[in-house]
Every structure is written in structure tokens, then in C-alpha cells.
Amino acid sequence: MTRNPTQFALFSRILHWLMAAMLLAMLFIGVMMVASLGDYHRLLVIHRPLGIMILILAVIRLVNRMFTTLPPFPPTMSQRERFLASASERLLYTLMFALPLVGWGMLSAGHYPIVMFGPVHLPPILPNNPTLYTVLRKTHTILAYLLFLTFLGHLSAVLFHNLIIRDKLLSRMALWPIRSRKVKIEKN
Amino acid sequence: MKRIHMNTNEPNENSGPQPAPLRPAKLILRLTVIGLVLAGIAALFLYAGGWFTPHALSPAVMINTFEKVNGEHPGFRRNHAKGVCISGYFESNGGGTVLSRAAVFLPGRVPIIGRFALAVGQPYAADAAHTVRSMALLFKQPDGQEWRTGMNNIPVFPVNSAEGFYDLLLASAPDPATGKPDPAKMGAFVAQHPEFAKAIQLIRAQPASSGFADSSYNSLDAFCFINAKGTALPVRWSMLPVQPFQPLNPTMPGKSDTNQLFDALIADIHSHALQWHLIITVGQPSDPTADATLPWPPDRQRVDVGTLTIDHVESEDTSPARDINFDPLVLPNGMAGSDDPLLSARSAAYAESFIRREGEPKSPSAVSTAETAK
């Protein structure tokens, strides 16, 4: 099996972009929902199952992350940058798990049924408790803003590499295959 | 095919040699582009969250206004603040299964927890004869799904939008100088909301009953029932009391007895279980579903789907119902909201009220445990 090692595995790339779209949509749905009277319900109906889908994908992604070889960091990344990239990756993974779980726990503690769609409901994962509900509800908001800030940091690093350093960092995650010059030469 | 080994490939993984450094002008331009992209996304996010429109009508603005008009009462519901909790069961006769596939309509019993309340923002206000009375219920289906509903003892709702409700809240707020609503503000409100004048006529025309036990409670908003065949029907529902109607005692309110209505309810439940028939009114396609101020024609099909029995009353101080949000859009499979804009607005405003009150210290309810034990 041949894999171009300058790129992440195809499945990893698909997961990355799928979850990027879902997480960003989720963040916008979340902030719009809590500020809206008229659209609150129709957004909430999307928010809950989308959150659980993100949680499921986060599990798949973590397992995939543990069992796939990653392309190495490009030489244009300093040691400190590599450390920051790894730390922010860990933070993003943590938030991908924490946000849906806190949401689920918060609804449980708030005595809400956890409705997915139609007859599909999830069981509560925490006991009814007003204080617990309050803490988790606030945590949910704080983590959402933290996720948004982490996303902005992630995006700024990619833009900086692609537009300023011009090391084509983004091609590591491109959905289409990128063949480096070196590979072409070897094949020729 | 050649296998490429990572360790040998690492130094060559970039496409060719490093590009030359950017010229200063280009560098600044590109940095600016990056800054603009990031700022644009951040601004869009904050805009979506309402940060640039703090005065637009949002759940937070609605609840802030309740707090402004009624004063701050931490730990209590921002509306329907004064109440007492109840429990019992709903015995379905099976007649509802043709209308909705919700398990609550299968023949048999489901447990109920709920709350009677007065539509006031002040939890210690004295009971008043003409204050709107409400019944909130949570039906717990055997499959774990829930039906929550909050009903009022008025035939129609006075306004048909969240904006109308907000305007009414402000217009009917007591003027600090007189302690009564400002007639000029009320006049301006009525002129702006013609639906209110018609609705209030219907509300005033309804004969006032003596208390909670002999009141009818109505969903007001329209909903949608979906049956096993997938047929969707517009519906409204009502709880019609088995207790015979008694006209309101004209001497009410007695000033010495601030919990008169609640005490009568407690005494009634202690002497015998109270019952209501759950009546589903099935609308026709021509009936308005998006306007809770408009009644449906009186000849619409009405189906008695079962009997609600309330046999236990408990103070909010000890009942789990205090910490339940009776969100009208918590519905089991087989029921859905309609296009009535009040439904989502209620859901959102109740959630905001719930978030705030659950995190606040609790004060004893006006209807205390001593009172419910009497």
C-alpha cells in the first residue's frame, strides 16, 4: 500500500473537513439559538442531534488518530510551533468530546428529555440537580467560546503558513491528493 | 510502485526549495488579508450571537423586562411566579390514538407531575380574582418520552407574537407614580395591536369560575398531531373540569387572606381528587394555527381522550416540579409544534428564565409546606 506521507490519510482528511463544517455550524447555531425567540426551537432541534453526531465522530476520530501514521511536521515549523500545534490539537479533541458531553449532562441535570429525532431519545447521564445544571450550562457556553477561539488560532496558523511562509501546509489536509515534486521525480 | 519511508522523506516533503521571502509591501498586504479574514469570521460569530444588537428582542431582553417590571425575585419563575405543585395521573381512554401516535394516548395510565399558578411576575402577590390561572403538566410516557404543556384559563391568548407580548408587558406595567398602568401607554399599545382588542373581548366574555378546581385550561397555541398513518392534524387542547362550575365569589379578594385561591385548591385536593377531561379540538385546514388570539369555529370536532386526576398537592419548596421547565415544545413522538410564533418564543423565554432561576438561591414559596399540609 502506498500513501503519500506529505498528506494525512484520506479518511483522516475526510473526518477533518466533515467535522470542521459540523463544528463551525454548531457554534453558529448555538450562539444564534440562545439569542433568538423565533428561531430558537428550529435551531435547538438541529443542535441536539448534531451535537451527538459530533460526539460519535469524535470517538471515531480519536481511534483513527491513534492508529494512523501522521505526516511529519514540515521543516518550516519550529520546535515551539510544533509544540503549540500539538497542544492545540489536544485542546480541539478535548473540546470535541467535552462540548457534547457537557450539553448532554446539562440537559440531564436540568430535567429535560434528551430528544434526538422522532421517537429516538437518549437516557440521562446525570441526576436532576439545579446547581449541576447551572454549572454545566455556563460551562457549555464557556467551552463553546473557547472552541471558537481555538478554531481562530488554528485558522490563523494555517493562513500564516500558506500565505506568508508559503510552505503549502494546507495541502497536508487537502481532500484531493497532493503529489510533492520529490515523489514525481522518484516515479519518473 | 515505490514505498516511501517517512524518515527518509522528511527533509524532502516540501515541494522544492523554500520560496524567497515576501517583499515588504506584499507581506503587509497578506498579513492584512489574514487579519481581515479572522476579524470577519469573529464579527460574523458575534453578530450571529446578537452582540451588535443588544436591544433587539431576544430571550434575555424579554426576561430582563420581566425583572424590570416585576422587580427581581431570585429563584422564582419570571412569569407565573406564584404556584403550587401537583401530581396524579392521566387515564387515557384510547380515543386519542386515531389523532396521534403518542404513547400517552394508548389506553392506560401515565403519571403526571405539574403546577398550578397565577400569571403574575411577583411570587408573593396576593391572589386576585381575575388574574389568569394556569395549569402546567408533564406527562411521563412509559418509553421515557415526555409531553409538557402549560395551559391558561382564558379562551384565547391576548397577543399573537412575541413582540406583542413584550409590548403588552411594558404597556401594562404599573406606573410608579399611580401604581396603575398608564392609560396613554395602554392606548398606544391597543392601537398598535388590533388583535388585542378582539382577544380581550373574548377573554372578558368568559364567565369567571370560583377557583383553580372549576377552571378550564386551554393550550391556546395550536399544535400538530401525527397519527400512526402519518397523517398530520392541527389541534388545540383543553382540560375541562369534572368539578361543577361555580361563579366567582364577588367578595373575592379577601384582603386578609393572600393565598385564597391556592388554599381553596389545597383544601379541594385534600378532600377529594380533582379531575379534568382532556379534550382535543381538531382544526380544519382553514383554521388559523399561527394566531393564538383567534378562536376556532365552535363546531370543530372535539375528542375526549381521557381523564386527568390530581390527587396530591405539594409546596414548591419540596416538589421536583419547581425545577421543571414546562416548555410547550417538549413533546413526544406523534406531536409537534405548529407555525404559531409564540411557541418558539415561549420555549426560548422559559429556557432563559430557567437558566437564571436554577442558579439563584431559593426563597420559600408563598404557598408553603405548612399551607399545603393543612
Inter-chain residue contact A41 with B348, CB threshold 8 Å: yes
A109 vs A132: CA distance, rounded Å: 6
Across the range B265-280, mean pLDDT stands at: 98
- From its phi and psi, is residue B159 left (phi > 0), alpha (psi between -120 and 50) or beta? beta
Q: Which of residues 94-123 of A touch B (CB under 8 A)?
A: 110-113, 115, 118-119, 121, 123
Inter-chain residue contact A2 with B1, CB threshold 8 Å: yes
Across the range A60-81, mean pLDDT stands at: 93
> Using an 8 Å Cβ cutoff, are B372 and B259 in contact?
no
State which residue of chain A sits closest to B21, comparing Cα positions. Answer: A165
Q: Of B5, B73, B80, B277, which is the active-site residue?
A: B80
Global ipTM: 0.91
Position B179 scores a pLDDT of 84
Position A168 scores a pLDDT of 87
Say whether residue A145 is in contact with chain B using an 8 A CB cutoff: no
CA distance B367 to chain A (A): 21
Across the range B289-307, mean pLDDT stands at: 98
User: Using the 8-state DSSP alphabet, how is residue B155 labeled?
Assistant: S
Position A3 scores a pLDDT of 52
The CB density around residue B185, as the number of other CB atoms within 10 Å, is 15
- Transcribe B210-273 into DSSP letters: SSSTT--EE--S-EEEE-TT--EEEEEEEEEESSPP-BPPTTPPPTT-TTHHHHHHHHHHHHS-
Is it the case that residue A187 has pLDDT exceeding 70? no
pLDDT per residue over B21-32, tens digit each?
889 999 999 999
Which of B231, B239, B237 minimizes the C-alpha distance to B334?
Answer: B231
- From its phi and psi, is residue A166 left (phi > 0), alpha (psi between -120 and 50) or beta? left
Contacts of B224 in chain A (CB under 8 A): none
Position B17 scores a pLDDT of 59
Is it the case that residue B92 has pLDDT exceeding 90? yes
B226 vs B240: CA distance, rounded Å: 23
Position B11 scores a pLDDT of 41
Q: Which residue has the cell 446539562?
A: A106
B249 vs B128: CA distance, rounded Å: 11
Across the range B102-122, mean pLDDT stands at: 97
What pLDDT band is residue A180 in, cutting at 50, 70 and 90?
low
Across the range A67-87, mean pLDDT stands at: 93
**Residue ranges of domains in chain A, CATH in brackets:** 10-187 (1.20.950)
B130 is a catalytic site residue: no
B20 vs B332: CA distance, rounded Å: 64
Is it the case that residue A116 has pLDDT exceeding 60? yes
Across the range B34-53, mean pLDDT stands at: 97
For residue B253, say if its preceding peptide bond is cis, omega within 30 degrees of 0.
yes
pLDDT per residue over B129-148, tens digit each?
889 999 999 999 999 999 99
Is it the case that residue B275 has pLDDT exceeding 90? yes
Across the range A89-115, mean pLDDT stands at: 98
Inter-chain residue contact B19 with A186, CB threshold 8 Å: no
A140 vs A167: CA distance, rounded Å: 36
Best residue in B2, B4, B5, B319 for a mutation probing chain A (most A CBs within 10 Å): B4
CA distance A160 to chain B (A): 7
Specify the range with the lowest mean pLDDT, choosing from A159-163, B21-25, B76-80: B21-25
Inter-chain residue contact A180 with B13, CB threshold 8 Å: yes
State which residue of chain A sits closest to B341, comparing Cα positions. Answer: A38
Best residue in A23, A24, A40, A129 for a mutation probing chain B (most B CBs within 10 Å): A40
| β-bridge mates for residue B337, sequence order | B223
What does the mean pLDDT of chain A come to? 92
- For residue B169, what are the contacts with CB-CB under 8 A and spacing of at least 6? B65, B66, B69
> Using an 8 Å Cβ cutoff, are B350 and B65 in contact?
no
Across the range B164-178, mean pLDDT stands at: 93
Strand, coil or helix: B98: helix
Is it the case that residue B365 has pLDDT exceeding 60? yes
Is it the case that residue B72 has pLDDT exceeding 70? yes
Residues of chain A with pLDDT > 90, as a percent, come to 86
Residue predicted with more confidence, B14 or B169: B169
Inter-chain residue contact B34 with A110, CB threshold 8 Å: no
CA distance B273 to chain A (A): 27
State which residue of chain A sits closest to B34, comparing Cα positions. Answer: A159
Is it the case that residue A105 has pLDDT exceeding 70? yes
Residues of chain B with pLDDT > 70, as a percent, come to 93
What does the mean pLDDT of chain B come to? 93
State which residue of chain B sits closest to A106, comparing Cα positions. Answer: B355
Across the range A31-48, mean pLDDT stands at: 98
CA distance B141 to chain A (A): 11
Inter-chain residue contact A159 with B37, CB threshold 8 Å: yes
Of A2, A40, A75, the CB nearest to B14: A75
Across the range B149-177, mean pLDDT stands at: 96
What pLDDT band is residue A178 in, cutting at 50, 70 and 90?
confident
Strand, coil or helix: A122: strand
> Using an 8 Å Cβ cutoff, are B177 and B220 in contact?
no
B109 vs B93: CA distance, rounded Å: 9
pLDDT per residue over B188-202, tens digit each?
999 999 999 999 999
The model's pTM is 0.92
State which residue of chain B sits closest to A117, comparing Cα positions. Answer: B333
Inter-chain residue contact B10 with A130, CB threshold 8 Å: no
Contacts of A46 in chain B (CB under 8 A): none
> Using an 8 Å Cβ cutoff, are B300 and B283 in contact?
yes
Position A5 scores a pLDDT of 72
Helix segments in chain A, DSSP class H: 10-34, 40-67, 79-109, 130-159, 181-187
CA distance A68 to chain B (A): 13
Position A185 scores a pLDDT of 39
Q: Which of residues 35-94 of A touch B (CB under 8 A)?
A: 35-42, 44, 69, 71-72, 74-76
What pLDDT band is residue B106 in, cutting at 50, 70 and 90?
very high
Say whether residue A188 is in contact with chain B using an 8 A CB cutoff: no
Strand, coil or helix: A77: coil
Say whether residue A160 is in contact with chain B using an 8 A CB cutoff: yes
Across the range B336-365, mean pLDDT stands at: 97
Inter-chain residue contact B333 with A160, CB threshold 8 Å: no
Which of A76, A71, A13 minimizes the C-alpha distance to B7?
Answer: A71
Is it the case that residue A99 has pLDDT exceeding 70? yes
